[in-house]
Amino acid sequence: MRTIFIEKREEIDRIIRACKTCYLGMSLNDVPYVLPMNFALDGDVVILHSAQSGRMWETLLQNPKVCINWTLGEELAWQDVQVGCSYRVKSESVLVEGEIELVDDFDEKVRCMEKVMAQYSNRSFKFGAPSIRNVGVFKVAIRKISAKKFGAKAVTPWTSSEEQA
């Protein structure tokens, strides 16, 4: 089984949009910290939201550099059922690196929260003014993006492209 780099942005976006959770990695004073988050993808920007206090918020205010991961798929695969090192989880994974930008503008916060909710539902939502004022919204402009497919079958001259997936 192989690891294949995914180059097409449309395929990368498909993986991101198929996920319900992303994992936000950050660091403060060389102490790493990772949290599961709800998100929205808006072109080359990832939108995240949280309370405006707590460990995550304090970490991001002091060090805005982040890494975000999405992983899709959990099917176990192996080359030889008797060989432990031949086991893999068939999955697709995307990594984004960037820096956060806090969103303070009320109307932009509303737009961002509409994008986040659209990731999870086709419904229209209304947001009360207090909830928008009290939510912490931040964007991560994608500085670097990479994606891989794990557990793909090895390509041989006798393997069809459908069998490789």
Model pLDDT, residue 160:
44
Model pLDDT, residue 40:
97
Task: Kindly state whether residue 164 falls inside one of the protein's structural domains.
Answer: no
Model pLDDT, residue 96:
98
Task: Kindly state whether residue 19 falls inside one of the protein's structural domains.
Answer: yes
Range of the domain at 68: 2-154
Model pLDDT, residue 75:
64
Model pLDDT, residue 42:
97
Residue 121 sits in a domain of what CATH number? 2.30.110.10
Task: Kindly state whether residue 135 falls inside one of the protein's structural domains.
Answer: yes
Task: Kindly state whether residue 70 falls inside one of the protein's structural domains.
Answer: yes
Do 111 and 125 touch, CB atoms closer than 8 A?
no
Model pLDDT, residue 77:
61
What does the alpha-carbon distance between residue 85 and residue 56 come to, in Å, rounded to a whole number? 36
What does the alpha-carbon distance between residue 121 and residue 98 come to, in Å, rounded to a whole number? 27
Do 88 and 77 touch, CB atoms closer than 8 A?
yes
Task: Kindly state whether residue 165 falls inside one of the protein's structural domains.
Answer: no
Task: Kindly state whether residue 160 falls inside one of the protein's structural domains.
Answer: no
Domain count, the chain: 1
| pLDDT tens, per residue, the chain with 165 residues | 577 788 999 999 999 999 999 999 999 999 999 999 999 999 999 999 999 999 999 999 999 999 999 998 766 665 666 656 655 667 789 999 999 999 999 999 999 999 999 999 999 889 999 999 999 999 999 999 999 887 665 544 444 444 444
pTM: 0.83
Model pLDDT, residue 11:
94
Q: Which SS3 state, helix, strand or coil, does residue 141 take?
A: strand
DSSP label of 86: G
Strands (E), the chain: 2-5, 22-28, 31-37, 39-42, 45-51, 65-78, 87-103, 135-152
